[in-house]
Chain A
Amino acid sequence: MATFSMNLIWQYANPKKFMQTSGMVLPWVIGLAAIGMVGGLIWGFFFTPNDYKQGSTVKIIYLHVPSAMIAINGWAVMLIASLIWLIRRHHVSALVARAAAPVGMTMTLIALITGAIWGEPMWGTWWAWDPRLTSFLILFLFYLGYIALWEAIEDPDTAADLTSVLCLVGSVFAFLSRFAVDFWHQGLHQGASLSLDGRDEVADIFLFPLLTCMGGFILFFIAMVLLRTRTEIRARRLKALIARERMG
């Protein structure tokens, strides 16, 4: 059974198979992502009350929490794809990691900006060198460095090797970003709003639109990564064709 499942997964390491399957599922993923994101944000912005403590700034969680979640988990996706590249040398996995980076970087930037905008009236400051904020800023710099490294190296296999190693190193900060508030009980940033053990600190009236936004953001991430991976596969073929033309 496990062998069968693994064989099924490895099929998608074939660029042709990946293009076929992603082409079929993309319209559905894009449609559901649009419904989840737009629906969740409209629900949260227009149809939820203001919080008795935070006032209307509570509405910022519908952008901040899902984007922070994707920022961290986007790096986790890159880590898995990078490990597959390093161990199995499947080109599609290296391209998935490359495709995910700009999406993760944008989400990290959204989390940083919306967090700063929320922090100014609530904490009295735009920024503090708090463990979670600082590790998030470092994660953003790792995203930038990762993208720059891909662009800087001509040979795609060497670029995939070096960026995979960078991804492994950056995973420490992605991990710290997630657990910083648990490791160091200090700083301004509060603990996690949602947890898998069911001890959520968010009232249902805010929780349901938030969960809708989170689902929408996950689907948006998948849609963007699929679209960008398809482009990277085409760009790789284009590069090979141009190299062949030059050789005559």
Chain B
Amino acid sequence: MENNLEIVSRPHARNLIEWAKDKPRVVVLSADLTSSCEVDTFRDTYPERFFSMGMAEQNMLGFAAGLAREGFFPYIHTFAVFITRRPFDQLAMSIAYPNLPVRFIGFLPGITTPGGVTHQAIDDIALMRIVPNMTVLEVGDATEVESVLDVAQKSNGPVYVRMLRGEVPRLFPKSEPLQWNHARVLSKGNDVAILSSGICTEEALRATNALAARGVSIQHLHVSTHKPFTDPQILDALDATRHGTITMENHLLTGGLGSATAELIAEHGIGKKLFRIGLRDTYAHGASRAYLMKKYQLDALSLVRAVENLTRENFGLTEEDLAQVRLTEMHSAAKAEAL
């Protein structure tokens, strides 16, 4: 598949250096995954603000708590699984209970890694959503990678960031940074509402472009704040859709975007159908991202099938049709209309 999108190499690595330049109280803690989490350049640029904690996440979180109590802003960098699973008790008791401003930068969300079940964070959003005081953010492109730190830093409590590394496409213009608790409206319509997050948004765009060409009217929102989940735009979309809503996430169906959406629908008595795309109560395994997205039905074709299911129409779209879609940078539809 070819796109007309800019591919940014290691956006976090470059952005963090620049961003932290005038923030002397920002410190980075790493648990032996320094290059893997793109903080090797931070280490080399600001060695006095970089702390190697070894493969010892429980202790790393305790140290972060102590540093935060003393006025520092610890940015913990490791794989998401090693933040949200192994040291969960430390995260809850040492950091979240006292509402300390520790930032957890978690890499390798869901099936983005061939590292297999041990390295694939398929449950991190769920685990972080249930932690009181925690803010939960997820980036979907290079622009969000470059702007999420500003949003995280505004919180006076703990923040979990589901981060992307390596070659990251720029889906959204640089001039439209990630905004706290404010979804991006990527298209407006009222047949179907689609809420997508993280890497699923790029995949969803492939389907929504093709579906729009078939005359389907879609309200497509890209969600980057999982908690709080009180963006009125989301509620409006859930309410206004004719056939129902589809959520699409690189995560288990339980506890993530789909669950949060179901809670909203139920609590507000919205009598519309919800179809959730995500991992269905299963672990994944080590393989390529493209293979896994297809195998676990997180791909564009699965979204087309979900729209067909809701609308009871058949659009005759094939994998080849979707592969032909050329994505370009997505300006916020809401903003475009406001202008």
Same complex for A and B? Answer: no
Binding site for B on A (CB under 8 A): none
